[in-house]
Amino acid sequence: MEFNVPTIAEMTSKGEVPEILFGVGCAGSFDDRAKRVTRAFAKILNAAGIKFAVLGTEEACTGDPARRAGNEFLFQMQAMNNIQLLNGYGIKKIVTTCPHCFNTLRNEYPELGGTYDVVHHTAFLQQLINDGKIKIKEGGPFKGKKITYHDSCYLGRANNIYEAPREVLASLDADLVEMKRCRTTGLCCGAGGAQMFKEPEKGRKDINIERSEEALSTGAGTTLWPNGSARSMPIATKRRARYSSE
């Protein structure tokens, strides 16, 4: 399937205005597995007839890792540069696949002058399904398969988004098996707070191992990790057990 991914600069030069800006994010741009999500979402947007654009080479990190690591100066530098760019293009609505980008853009940019309608892609997908713009084929590859879902900290507890991802899964006719700690009591994947960029402190067990083992204990053949950083954390456990992590 061929699909078009225009940049906001290209659209602006033609006098066109996108319905949404697709915020790809760092993981979605550079992590090989996260890039699959980026491509898939772009294909869906094309199939649904959504007029969208990306920043392309103008996109920079939102600053989330810098702030979580305690470098407030760097965060504000990154955020102000991004806000100047976004406001310059007149961006109103942003859809992102990364919960960390979603939380930062939605909750932390307004105080610096960047106020946008920010939507996570699972909520956007569910709206497209409800509006009939995309239809899920019956008897798809996930029909009847056991799937477990990890509630991202910044999607769940920070922004109270629990149902949209599960409603999308329900559309696939998959058998959702919840982990012991889910929704408001969900456990961190271990990557938040810029932890994925450093070695863990000494303790009884690494958080990513704990969470991955909890996912394995459900008996599900597939675990859905909604963000790039979370998706990178189960690798140590995955090497010890065969299961699919998406």
Q: For residue range 4-20, list pLDDT tens digits in order.
A: 899 999 999 999 999 99
End-to-end CA distance of the chain: 21
Q: In the chain, what is the greatest distance between 2 CA atoms, to the nearest angstrom?
A: 58
Residue ranges covered by each domain of the chain: 8-126, 136-245
Structure tokens at 217: 């204990």
pLDDT tens profile 40-93: 999 999 999 999 999 999 999 999 999 999 999 999 999 999 999 999 999 999
Phi/psi class of residue 46: alpha, beta or left (left: φ > 0; alpha: ψ in -120 to 50)?
alpha
Domains 8-126 and 136-245 share a fold: yes
Helix (H) and strand (E) counts in the chain: 11, 8
Question: What is the average pLDDT across 223-240?
Answer: 59
**CA-CA distance, 196 to 189, in Å (whole number)?**
10
Domain boundaries 136-245, corresponding CATH code: 3.40.50
Write out the H or E segment, with its range, that includes residue 22.
Answer: strand 20-23
**CA-CA distance, 83 to 62, in Å (whole number)?**
9
Whether the predicted pLDDT of 242 surpasses 60: no
**pTM of this structure:** 0.88
Instruction: Give the pLDDT band of residue 227 (cuts 50, 70, 90).
Output: low
**CA-CA distance, 38 to 24, in Å (whole number)?**
7
CATH architecture of 8-126: 3-Layer(aba) Sandwich (3.40)
Structure tokens at 207: 């958080």
pLDDT value at position 243? 46
